[in-house]
Amino acid sequence: MPQKIHICVAWPYAAGDRHIGHLAGAYLPPDIFARYHRLVGNEVLMVSGSDTHGTPITLRADKESITRQQVIERYHTRFVEAFLQFGLTFDLYTHTDTQNHWDVTHDLFLRHLARAYMYTDKQYQLYAVDDQQWLPDRYVEGTCPFCSFTQARGDQCDNCGRTYDAVELVAPYSRITGSTNLEKRPTEHFFFDLGQANDFLIEWLNRPDKASWRTHVLNLARARAESRELRGRPITRDLDWGITIPVPGYADKRIYVWYDAVIGYLSATREWALLTGDPAAWEAWWREGDEQVESFYFIGKDNIEFHAIIWPAMLHGYGPIAGPDAPGPWLKQPSDVPANEYLTLGDFKFSTSYGNVITINDAAERYQIDAWRYALTAMAPETQDSEFTWQEFVRRVNTELVANWGNLVNRVLGFAFKQFEGHVPQPGALDAQDEVLLTAVRGGFDSVGALYAARKFKAALDAALRLSQEVNRYLNDKAPWTLIKTDRAAAATSVYVVLQAIDWLKLLFAPVLPSSSQQVHSLLGHDGDLFGRQYTEMVADARGQHLVLRYDHRGATGSWQPAPLPAGQPLRKPEALFIKLDESVIEEELARMQVSTP
RNA sequence: UGCGGGGUGGAGCAGAGGCAGCUCGUUGGGCUCAUAACCCAAAGGCCGCAGGUUCGAGUCCUGCCCCCGCUACCA
């Protein structure tokens, strides 16, 4: 029976473009994982969406003198466009300003309240007297009380990384108006009581299944839990926009973004169920204790605490799905949180200027998608920060992707097409060398597959590439271009063996390189698609309309198995898989980045 | 005066107790089907430094030095 693989992807703020670091760190890995599991035959549900709340959106809107709604729509649309271009197969990519998300957030709020995971308390916050407005969190800046950094944010200092309360800032000022006439005023807020989940978290983080977690994730999470310093965290704010508070008397307050953002994983699953016409279908993905389901949260390292501490505590605080006192299953805890480190931009490390970004929208326009997917996977910061440079990008594409795999496909398909009348040749009996090669490539379904399953994508790609190199080696040994002059049947056999190897290799590469693998599939004369179809649509609900990105796996024919290649199958006219990059793109891109610097 | 990451052949990285490995580059050779691609061979490392634990240490412990990010509104 196939597994259910639930893939949860970090929710980006709809307040600014995503760059290639986000892609390498948080968006590409889950898609590789999703595609692998779909090929294997597992049922996959990959969800995410844009976060439409939070201070950055207001600040952006103020800066450009447009409405928040315009900011949200612009960036949400740009995310959807780029994710579509990069082939990120979200079963549902939505956003948080939907009726469904409000409903689910209210449900969690009320349940946490009912189960005493929530309490209210007075808190001092800064109030801008002249502007008559509260200044929660990042609406205020000032001098860090610890390190005296002068542009410290309201909740955390960028210089020393410490967190504190905004009222502790020295010389605070409004980030909206610059006003320094601020007062500390008491205000009542709801707090989510993390401390109540502390024992549970320690126990949970020490279960044997955590052995497969990345060490940097587990170390950080355990350190937090075992410090026993977890306590209440405010989850409401004095704001006039955002998700309302579902109890009377708090009309002038809204839910704080961190609380509702992580709820997106659950609400998006429910929205997906609504869209499929079976509103109850979400539950099959969320029952704790169901061995058939595993859930994976792909995020960047700055988000580890939210996904390995706070969200598990919130799920635990919810209790049984059916009701506070029901016997039934609880909400499912993450099976793994494979957080990546950062991909840093190396070309401008000494630049203090602003805006040297490579946005994913730009990236998609300028180079082949599979070239990006290859390079960013090969460079991915799986266990440590890694550096992106254009030189490295060109090198990876030209000397690894093009030279090894692209060229292999090209040289063999070209030869076969010309010498064997455009058909897969009929092989004779296989000799020991043929068998050795095919056994090695066939073994990739186990070895490379295991690496994909273990979320070791760099290693998986490396292993597939090494098999491709084996095929190149075999080809040089057999030299069918010489053999064909004296022994056409022997040449036919070795060409067949190589075509068979390529037909399997395309699958081993497919999670990372979906479109070029599809092309190889087609060139080898197969019909049908390895994967399903992505599409966008507008969804209407009580809060209006929103754009969603979706994926339909029906009709996909790709399967993680070494199927035999039929001899005699007509080939299609070969064409190059990848474009070799000219060295000049390094200079061009560096110049572009200089120009874009304000 | 912090937080985080790291120091392994020329470059980028893997390895986390048992003969130092991969990709690229370099040098020499082979091949000519192929996107000057492919294949073979060679050179190149006191695994940052100093102590310690151990039969045995890139790998564990202690101390030190150095580098990088934190100005890509921060994944």
Q: DSSP letters of A185-228?
A: EEEEEEEEEGGGGHHHHHHHHTSGGGGGS-HHHHHHHHHHHHTT
CA of A21 vs C1' of B3, distance in Å?
20
**Cα distance between residue A379 and residue A377, in whole Å:** 5
Q: Which residues pair with residue A340 across a beta bridge? A: A300
Q: Which residue's structure tokens are 């092989």?
A: A427
- What confidence score (pLDDT) does residue A155 get? 65
CA of A412 vs C1' of B31, distance in Å?
15
CA of A395 vs C1' of B15, distance in Å?
24
Nucleotide nearest to A22 (CA to C1'): B75
Q: What DSSP element (H or E) covers A184?
A: strand A182-193
Which nucleotides in chain B have some atom under 7 angstroms from a protein Cβ? 1-6, 12-15, 22-25, 30-35, 37-40, 68-75
Q: What DSSP element (H or E) covers A362?
A: helix A360-366
Nucleotide nearest to A479 (CA to C1'): B33
Q: Which residue is nearest to nucleotide B73 (CA to C1')?
A: A56
CA of A555 vs C1' of B70, distance in Å?
47
Contact in structure between A95 and A148 (CB atoms under 8 Å):
no
Nucleotide nearest to A355 (CA to C1'): B72
Q: Which residue is nearest to nucleotide B32 (CA to C1')?
A: A481
- What confidence score (pLDDT) does residue A159 get? 55
Token couple for A336 = 């793994």
> Which pairing describes strands A152-153 and A133-134: parallel, antiparallel, or unpaired?
unpaired
Angle at CA of residue A68, ends A66 and A69, nearest 5°:
100
Q: pLDDT (tens digit, 0 to 9) for every residue of chain A, 598 residues total?
A: 679 999 999 999 888 888 888 888 889 999 999 999 999 999 999 999 999 988 778 878 888 888 999 999 999 999 999 999 999 999 999 999 999 999 999 999 999 999 999 999 887 888 888 878 787 766 787 776 666 666 666 766 555 555 667 777 777 888 777 788 888 888 888 999 988 998 898 888 878 777 777 777 777 777 777 777 777 888 888 888 899 999 999 998 999 888 888 999 999 999 999 999 999 999 999 999 999 999 999 988 778 888 888 899 999 999 999 988 888 899 999 988 888 777 777 655 433 334 456 888 888 998 999 999 999 998 888 777 777 888 888 989 999 999 999 999 999 999 999 999 999 999 999 999 999 999 999 999 998 998 898 888 888 888 899 899 999 999 999 999 999 999 999 999 999 999 999 999 999 999 999 999 999 999 999 999 999 999 999 999 999 999 999 999 999 999 999 999 999 999 999 999 999 999 888 888 877 776 544 3
Show the beta-strand stretches assigned E in A226-269: 232-234, 236-237, 254-255
**Cα distance between residue A325 and residue A322, in whole Å:** 8
CA of A361 vs C1' of B65, distance in Å?
43
Q: Which residues pair with residue A119 across a beta bridge? A: A191
Burial tier of A248 (Cβ tally within 10 Å: 0-12, 13-18, 19+): exposed
> Would you call A369 helix, strand, or coil by DSSP?
helix
- What confidence score (pLDDT) does residue A350 get? 35
Show the beta-strand stretches assigned E in A381-480: 386-388
Contacts 24+ apart (CB under 8 A), A304-308: A304/A216, A304/A217, A304/A220, A304/A221, A304/A337, A304/A339, A305/A220, A305/A221, A305/A224, A306/A258, A306/A261, A306/A262, A307/A262, A307/A334, A307/A337, A307/A339, A308/A205, A308/A217, A308/A218, A308/A220, A308/A221, A308/A224, A308/A334, A308/A337
- What confidence score (pLDDT) does residue A133 get? 78
CA of A512 vs C1' of B51, distance in Å?
47
Contact in structure between A438 and A500 (CB atoms under 8 Å):
yes
Task: State the angle between helix axes of A514-523 and A488-509 in degrees (0 to 180), rounded to the nearest 10.
Answer: 150
Nucleotide nearest to A399 (CA to C1'): B24
CA of A439 vs C1' of B43, distance in Å?
34
Among A318, A319, A295, residue whose Cα is nearest residue A307:
A295
Task: State the angle between helix axes of A432-453 and A28-40 in degrees (0 to 180), rounded to the nearest 10.
Answer: 120
- What confidence score (pLDDT) does residue A405 get? 95
Nucleotide nearest to A402 (CA to C1'): B35
Nucleotide nearest to A474 (CA to C1'): B39
**Cα distance between residue A284 and residue A514, in whole Å:** 29
Count the Cβ atoms, other than its own, within 10 Å of residue A242. 22
Q: Which residue is nearest to nucleotide B22 (CA to C1')?
A: A462
**A521 contact partners, CB below 8 Å, separation of at least 6:** A503, A506, A528, A530, A558
Q: Which residue is nearest to nucleotide B37 (CA to C1')?
A: A403
CA of A385 vs C1' of B7, distance in Å?
13
Q: Which residue's structure tokens are 């390498």?
A: A24
- What confidence score (pLDDT) does residue A595 get? 53
Nucleotide nearest to A359 (CA to C1'): B72
CA of A346 vs C1' of B11, distance in Å?
14
- What confidence score (pLDDT) does residue A245 get? 94
Q: Which residue is nearest to nucleotide B12 (CA to C1')?
A: A392
> Would you call A547 helix, strand, or coil by DSSP?
strand
Q: pTM of the entire structure?
A: 0.92
CA of A40 vs C1' of B19, distance in Å?
39
CA of A162 vs C1' of B57, distance in Å?
36
| Cα-to-chain-centroid distance, residue A152 | 29
Burial tier of A315 (Cβ tally within 10 Å: 0-12, 13-18, 19+): buried
